[in-house]
Structure 1
Amino acid sequence: MNDLWNKWRGDLHRKFVKPCKTIQEALKHIPEGVDRGDWEWLVKEHFSSEKFMTRKKVDKLVEQETISRYDKIVEVTQAEPSLSNIELVEKCFGPQRHDHVVCYGGGLKPNAIRTSGSKVELQAKLRESQRENQSLRNRMDEMENEVRMIKEMLQCQQSNTSPPQSSGQTSHLHQMGNQYDHI
């Protein structure tokens, strides 16, 4: 519940306070569903407080702990560039809890962004199998066309032959023609 409150408060700041040039202008734009007194407190007391304002400077990190964690992330990324984002987070911040992932906000579960090497390998095998399957289908289509052409040629030869053939040869040709009827 606390995460939802913080996220909502942050959204209010981003959408209704940051675009305004002054506090007075922000006070005039009260978000829907927010009481005027609550909005005044939020803008005057919370968003204007020194603690809120010093959480981050433009393109700079403020707290020493944040700086050291950032340095560790950069170091690990350079040492092991093949790590996925979740593996990088786990290496720098420790194993993730089941209910959320550090640095990804509320609501996101570790399994949603975890990519194991075996999953990547399976996806590559699946793509390869799909390519092979398509290649075999194309080859089968070509062979069916060839069989159709051979069958037509045999039928054409049988109808164009004037002298009657011996029964052995005729039955042999019929067997060859009938052999491909099921295709």
Structure 2
Amino acid sequence: MKPRVPKAFLLGSMITMFAGTLLAQPEFDFMPEGGRQTLLRLASTHTFDLKAAIARKATEAEWTAEITAEAPVLPQEEVETLASYLAVNMPVTGDAAREATTMEELAQALPPDGKELAIANCQFCHGFFTGYLAHDRDAEGWRSVFKSPFHRELPMTPSERETFARYSAINMPIPYEKVPEELRF
């Protein structure tokens, strides 16, 4: 008898693979890193304990203090982006996080970050620049985007919407000249 792979595992693997492929594309390098990417970078270059971080709940202020102490040279926007990502998404629950033994397995267990969510959801229905990259809104302004009928239908969880809103409030708008020409309109 052949072992069966659960559909949820396959779907999760496909989503992660798709998001990873999108993020690996150089045309998105101009966008600031999202919280997941910054977290993985810190975990691989500092003594930041990824396994401990994904297992605990803390406020954005508590995460900010911890990140600043761990990586004092990290730019303020990156600290804010990572702290908001952690505050919204930690602790990570589920078997994948609990059973992870390598950095790659832990990375797979992490929820998508704001950059990944924007790339996956914002560029297929309208211009990425005019519909997303050029907008200057606070977190509440980005949350209000999901009140429109067409955005309400996006297959995003409440925590993904919050992650997206906070990332976007911190990192948008991106100056016109930093956006590649092919993505400007």
**Higher RCO structure (Cα 8 Å, ≥6 apart):** 2
TM-score (norm 2): 0.21
TM-score normalized with structure 1 length: 0.21
- Quick check: which has more Rg, 1 or 2? 1
